[in-house]
Amino acid sequence: MELLTPNLGLIVWTTLAFLITLWILGKFAWKPIVSSLEKREQNIAESIQAAEKVKQEMAALKSENEELLAKARDERAQMLREAKETRDKIIADAKEQARQETNKIVSDAQAVINQQKMAAITELKNNVGKLVIEVSEKVLRRELASKEAQEQYIHELTSEVKLN
């Protein structure tokens, strides 16, 4: 049983050693340990605060990026619309210009055809006039006694005449 009951001297010396160790720890080790723990706690709090600040900045940047992307999409859509409108305008202008040129070519061709037609008609009239004069001259030179002979002679002359 002796082992189970502590001795009074052991209790005194153990208590004295504990108090001395406690005093030494309190005098030399306790303050640095506490200040180190306080510094660590302060660093952790600052890190948490910085992380919150970074988180807020990231959220702001994310929303700003989303706004920029939306603007970029809108600008792209606007540019595509403008390009399509420009393309359609260029095509319409080209068609209109082609139509105008075609109409001009057709009207010029019709004018040339009309001029050539009028020149041909004028030339034909001149030739017919010359033929009539020649026939009349030949008829007048030849004095024929009868009307039947004159008609026969006119038919002979008209059959001899070649049209150019």
Note the pLDDT tens digit of each residue in 110-141: 999 999 999 999 999 888 888 888 887 776 66
2 is a domain residue: no
The answer to whether position 149 is within a domain reads yes
Over the chain, what is the mean pLDDT? 88
Query: Greatest CA span in the chain, whole angstroms?
Result: 196
Would 139 be classed as within a structural domain?
yes
Q: Is the dihedral of CA 46, 47, 48, 50 positive or negative?
A: positive
In the chain, the number of structural domains is 1
> What confidence tier does 143 reach under pLDDT thresholds 50, 70, 90?
low
Q: Is 49 among the domain residues?
A: yes
1 has pLDDT over 60 = no
Sequence length of the chain is 164
Q: Which residues contact 144 (CB under 8 A, 6 or more apart)?
A: 150, 153
Residue found under tokens 């001029």: 115
Report pLDDT for 33.
Answer: 85
Torsion of CA 105, 110, 112, 118, to 10 degrees: -170
Domain span at 58: 8-160
Residue 69 counted as domain residue = yes
For residue 105, the surrounding DSSP H or E stretch is helix 30-141
Give the tokens for residue 90. Answer: 């260029």
